[in-house]
A and B are shown apart, each in its own frame.
Chain A
């Protein structure tokens, strides 16, 4: 594939990536979200990850549902196709798009309302299919766009802005992902870019479905005292377990791993994820250990973050469907048309 990408005019000393593009080349339209909204920070982290991975913007595809979070696909990678679909149904559109062309990088952006209520079914089934995409769930415990109703990720006892507590148990996207066999599961925080950007890079490079649940506070409806999705609460109970760094294939990564580091995980394209255990870390390649650690953290009301589970061995949707390498949308019609003679032959059975 020849590159059509032409860098924008840039100032001296601006950092450039391997394509010669600057960070500005990975930006999008002006955000229309509330000042201080966590989602804007996540947008910046996603743009940064694409920049660092030197992905040609037009070779990436952004898909989203409906919500403040889902709007953000317009705010980064202006030279990528975006598809802002319908509420809760982004996973199906992503699945079809990925099926049609496996050679692009797919990123889905959704919210906790979009993914865990109206879209719960599609969310779970995309994981089961192991669609090759990164799914960023910007989790604020409320429906931001419809002005602050509790979402299904609200914790028991968390207070609404007007004071009423939530009384129903939450759906934790990370536990859910582990239970349905997702092959890359992580949690981050919009306020911790240092942890989040490498997680996004790793998730984009992972072959199969990657989920990053990002705590992303809603400053307008869920950042008050008594909310468990506020900035203050998140900072207080934030608990980093395993730090993941993505190392691209071109870099020589003759593994030098420090104390507290684990065996690096090799990815399909030759890249590597380096894992660093923090405090009470565990081996994220071990699904059972991850599940246990998660349950313990929940019991202690800690927010476990970092790379929680990774499994590079599971076949993705394309492999499971035995699809050929070449994208479906590039197969010439001549190869798809059985022709008149064949049609006559097939009809022998209909006599």
Chain B
């Protein structure tokens, strides 16, 4: 039986795609957030526009944990197709709310949950005339029911409705009316509030709710990117939408209407890659957002940019593969693909954001690194980070920031030098100077993906070839100390066991670690944030006897990358793999590590 709980429970809403439930669910989550209580929202949606089931999960977490818990305490079952599954998922002691306009006595098959029927359809059909608003207002009516059951602040809800429909007074009234319908019905028929309820707190001050793609798009604006090219693909589309929205808002000359940016919807990902490479080569900050299938298509160009040393920023919002896979479900399945993308000996810089806040920061860092190291840089986000609203610290900006445009020679510098050689390691830091077209005749050189030597000339000479690719390897390795450093959490207790993880696993891992420690299993924790791995990563593993590597893919891609790129022994590492496509929950991590540690003890 779930115990009564204030500010610590999960409410899940089962809806039909395309019925307008998304905004109602968002409203609900934001209301709790505005009451000062931390929330975690996860949208599990189908690859479909209308008709298939979709779920929205809101975890109310007074403790401020950022992952899923794996429980469901309140289920709002609005989709008859999934009633059975939804009922089964409910934790003992939970509540199921459904539309009893059409009663479903078989719900009574579970004796350990309480079923609350509300005649949502009937009430809305009586109250509203237009067919479409009858469907839409059903969503608002269940928001009202939940508001009463959880003791939500109606003023907060009203404020949100007002913000949402700012200019349309009629819609505000309509939505308020629907909320009141549900609210009043619940008050009259159930004993409110439930044992699960929300009490105002003060824990969301200085926080915002934002999704990773919007944050990354905004990051590209702040990075000074002026060019973006893309080919639509879920779940990366909203990144370019974000960039476009902020450019339209911030980068259009008021008097002339002229743009200080250019966004091109390419004919495919190959073209998007080529356009970004062309723009970067020509001195504009440029990027492309995509997902796994797009990276596959871009591979040839990625190798070109690597070998010809052209800055190239890519965002891979990972989704479940292989092939089309489950395109709206999340995974961390492109780690290996991106690390070595393209044919020949290639290796790249990867950044692993864990939340939208880091998406914003790393969007800026990716541009700096790509131009500093003249090479492709991948930001590996995923659906969970990219498309869910996360509660994060308000994004901040340092006004003294200046972009690192890397080693680009100006006309004046070129005028002074005897002769320019594109691939010569003049400074001994493995990074050659580059020039931009049109700046100075002395800067001209021939960029090619075919064999070239350090002077920039064509070559088929083995020694010259080796000299250049050896430098590329050193250049790449030297970026290890410039990618974002790993984050380490040390246990206060002595331990020789640790967790190593990355990206969107963070919330679940942090919580699992706390709970494991409470159970007598203290663990240190390192979250890697960049590739190539800096020496700290190897040292961390070496300093532990057992390291659990938590990641979201079948093949232990991070673990294998660690084995390939450090000298750590295989037996030190143990995989915890989650790859169902649902965002990771702490219970999974907790259970797996506990199991493994017990096996270890008994072995």
Enumerate chain B residues within 8 angstroms of A61, measured Cβ to Cβ: 282, 437-438
- Tell me which of B250, B262, B284, B439 contacts A58 (CB under 8 A): B439
Enumerate chain A residues within 8 angstroms of B256, measured Cβ to Cβ: 324
**How far is A42 from B260 in the complex, measured between Cα atoms in Å?**
37
**How far is A82 from B444 in the complex, measured between Cα atoms in Å?**
8
- Tell me which of A79, A80, A92, A351 contacts B278 (CB under 8 A): A92
**How far is A6 from B399 in the complex, measured between Cα atoms in Å?**
42
**How far is A99 from B271 in the complex, measured between Cα atoms in Å?**
14
- Tell me which of A96, A322, A351 contacts B258 (CB under 8 A): A322
- Tell me which of B208, B221, B300, B445 contacts A81 (CB under 8 A): B445
Closest chain A CB from B213 CB (angstroms):
13
Enumerate chain B residues within 8 angstroms of A14, measured Cβ to Cβ: none
Contact indicator A80/B444 (Cβ below 8 Å): yes
Enumerate chain A residues within 8 angstroms of B33, measured Cβ to Cβ: 351
Enumerate chain A residues within 8 angstroms of B440, measured Cβ to Cβ: 4, 58
Contact indicator A99/B279 (Cβ below 8 Å): yes
**How far is A85 from B305 in the complex, measured between Cα atoms in Å?**
9
Enumerate chain B residues within 8 angstroms of A340, measured Cβ to Cβ: 396-399
Enumerate chain A residues within 8 angstroms of B226, measured Cβ to Cβ: 100, 328-329, 331, 336
A104 touching B441 in the complex, CB below 8 Å, given contacts A321-B259, A333-B403, A340-B399: no
**How far is A4 from B442 in the complex, measured between Cα atoms in Å?**
9
A97 touching B446 in the complex, CB below 8 Å, given contacts A89-B271, A92-B271: no
A57 touching B436 in the complex, CB below 8 Å, given contacts A99-B264, A323-B258: no
Contact indicator A351/B209 (Cβ below 8 Å): yes
Contact indicator B444/A100 (Cβ below 8 Å): no
Enumerate chain B residues within 8 angstroms of A56, measured Cβ to Cβ: 441
Contact indicator A347/B441 (Cβ below 8 Å): no
Closest chain B CB from A175 CB (angstroms):
20
**How far is A82 from B449 in the complex, measured between Cα atoms in Å?**
12
Asked if B447 is an interface residue, CB under 8 A from chain A, the answer is: yes
Asked if A285 is an interface residue, CB under 8 A from chain B, the answer is: no
Contact indicator B276/A96 (Cβ below 8 Å): yes
Closest chain A CB from B139 CB (angstroms):
21
A58 touching B441 in the complex, CB below 8 Å, given contacts A347-B395, A351-B209: yes
Contact indicator A100/B284 (Cβ below 8 Å): yes
**How far is A138 from B369 in the complex, measured between Cα atoms in Å?**
39
A343 touching B395 in the complex, CB below 8 Å, given contacts A79-B444, A84-B449, A336-B224: yes
Enumerate chain B residues within 8 angstroms of A58, measured Cβ to Cβ: 437-441, 443-444
One digit per residue, 1 when the CB lies within 8 angstroms of any chain B CB and 0 when it does not, for chain A 321-351 equals 1111100110101011111101110110011
Asked if A287 is an interface residue, CB under 8 A from chain B, the answer is: no
Contact indicator B447/A83 (Cβ below 8 Å): yes
**How far is A8 from B541 in the complex, measured between Cα atoms in Å?**
62
Asked if A34 is an interface residue, CB under 8 A from chain B, the answer is: no
**How far is A97 from B411 in the complex, measured between Cα atoms in Å?**
19
Chain A contacts with B in 34-72, Cβ cutoff 8 A: 56-59, 61, 63
Enumerate chain A residues within 8 angstroms of B227, measured Cβ to Cβ: 96, 99-100, 328
Contact indicator B447/A337 (Cβ below 8 Å): no
Enumerate chain A residues within 8 angstroms of B274, measured Cβ to Cβ: 85-86, 89-93, 95-96, 122
Contact indicator A339/B446 (Cβ below 8 Å): no
Enumerate chain A residues within 8 angstroms of B446, measured Cβ to Cβ: 73-74, 81-84
Q: Which residue of B lies closest to A63 (CB)?
A: B278
Asked if A169 is an interface residue, CB under 8 A from chain B, the answer is: no
- Tell me which of B221, B266, B284, B300 contacts A338 (CB under 8 A): B221
Main secondary structure of the interface of B (DSSP, over half): mixed
Contact indicator A84/B283 (Cβ below 8 Å): no
Q: Which residue of B lies closest to A95 (CB)?
A: B275
One digit per residue, 1 when the CB lies within 8 angstroms of any chain B CB and 0 when it does not, for chain A 292-329 equals 00000000000000000000000000000111110011
- Tell me which of A59, A84, A121, A325 contacts B447 (CB under 8 A): A84
**How far is A346 from B396 in the complex, measured between Cα atoms in Å?**
11
**How far is A92 from B280 in the complex, measured between Cα atoms in Å?**
12
Contact indicator B411/A121 (Cβ below 8 Å): no
**How far is A98 from B226 in the complex, measured between Cα atoms in Å?**
13
One digit per residue, 1 when the CB lies within 8 angstroms of any chain B CB and 0 when it does not, for chain A 253-297 equals 000000000000000000000000000000000000000000000
One digit per residue, 1 when the CB lies within 8 angstroms of any chain A CB and 0 when it does not, for chain B 301-319 equals 1001000000000000000
Asked if B44 is an interface residue, CB under 8 A from chain A, the answer is: no
Enumerate chain A residues within 8 angstroms of B277, measured Cβ to Cβ: 85, 93, 96
Enumerate chain B residues within 8 angstroms of A99, measured Cβ to Cβ: 227, 262, 264, 275, 278-279, 284
Closest chain A CB from B453 CB (angstroms):
14
Asked if B261 is an interface residue, CB under 8 A from chain A, the answer is: yes
Enumerate chain B residues within 8 angstroms of A350, measured Cβ to Cβ: 208-210
**How far is A73 from B448 in the complex, measured between Cα atoms in Å?**
11
One digit per residue, 1 when the CB lies within 8 angstroms of any chain A CB and 0 when it does not, for chain B 227-264 equals 10100000000000000001000110100111111111
Asked if B101 is an interface residue, CB under 8 A from chain A, the answer is: no
- Tell me which of B271, B394, B402 contacts A121 (CB under 8 A): B271
Contact indicator B438/A104 (Cβ below 8 Å): yes
Contact indicator A351/B275 (Cβ below 8 Å): no
Most chain-A Cβ atoms within 10 A of its Cβ — which of B34, B246, B258?
B258
Contact indicator B282/A100 (Cβ below 8 Å): yes
Contact indicator A324/B250 (Cβ below 8 Å): no
Asked if A5 is an interface residue, CB under 8 A from chain B, the answer is: yes
Enumerate chain A residues within 8 angstroms of B271, measured Cβ to Cβ: 89, 91-92, 95, 121-122, 125
Enumerate chain A residues within 8 angstroms of B304, measured Cβ to Cβ: 85-86
Closest chain B CB from A262 CB (angstroms):
35
Asked if B184 is an interface residue, CB under 8 A from chain A, the answer is: no
Most chain-A Cβ atoms within 10 A of its Cβ — which of B260, B266, B268, B444?
B444
A328 touching B261 in the complex, CB below 8 Å, given contacts A92-B274, A121-B267, A340-B398: yes
Asked if A101 is an interface residue, CB under 8 A from chain B, the answer is: yes
One digit per residue, 1 when the CB lies within 8 angstroms of any chain A CB and 0 when it does not, for chain B 401-417 equals 11100000001000100
Q: List 13 A-B contacts (CB under 8 A).
A: A74-B446, A80-B444, A81-B438, A96-B278, A96-B281, A96-B282, A100-B280, A329-B283, A336-B251, A338-B250, A342-B250, A344-B394, A351-B33
B interface with A by C-beta (< 8 Å): 33-34, 208-210, 218, 221-222, 224, 226-227, 229, 246, 250-251, 253, 256-264, 266-268, 270-284, 286, 300-301, 304, 394-399, 401-403, 411, 415, 435-450, 458
Known: A74-B446, A92-B274, A323-B259. 5 other contacts (CB 8 A): A4-B442, A95-B264, A96-B229, A338-B221, A340-B397
In the A-B complex, the 7 residue pairs with the closest CB atoms: A96-B278, A92-B274, A329-B283, A96-B275, A100-B284, A81-B437, A96-B279
